[in-house]
Amino acid sequence: MRPAELRDMSEVDLREHIKTARRELFGLRFQHATGELDNTATLARAKHEIARSLTIARERGIEVRSNG
């Protein structure tokens, strides 16, 4: 998702997006550990997505818990 799209999200939507992205990253890590992940580049993309979302949340002063 592009940064402009993230900036247009409401606070609730942004929190939900971060929560979903973290769940997706967990699933990708699990697939990687079990050898089921074919494209390992998706791990890096998922990490960047989370970092981008967290950066925008911090810019807006939104508190996001690290455990979900």
33 domain residue, yes or no: yes
41 located within any domain: yes
- pLDDT of 41: 96
Averaged confidence pLDDT in the chain: 93
65 lies in some domain: no
Q: Which domain holds residue 33?
A: 3-59
Domain count, the chain: 1
At 45, list the tokens.
Answer: 């993309």
Which distant-in-sequence residues (6+ apart) come within 8 Å of 24 by Cβ?
46
Return the CATH number at 20: 1.10.287.310
Q: Over pLDDT 70: what percentage of the chain?
A: 97
Tokens matching residue 61 = 């002063």
Its pTM stands at 0.87
Specify the 3-state DSSP secondary structure of 35: coil
Confirm whether 11 is domain-assigned.
yes
Does 42 map to a domain?
Answer: yes
Confidence band, pLDDT 50/70/90 cuts, at residue 65: confident
In a domain, 52, yes or no: yes
Q: Is residue 53 part of a domain?
A: yes
Q: What is the tens place of the pLDDT at every residue in 9-31?
A: 999 999 999 999 999 999 999 99
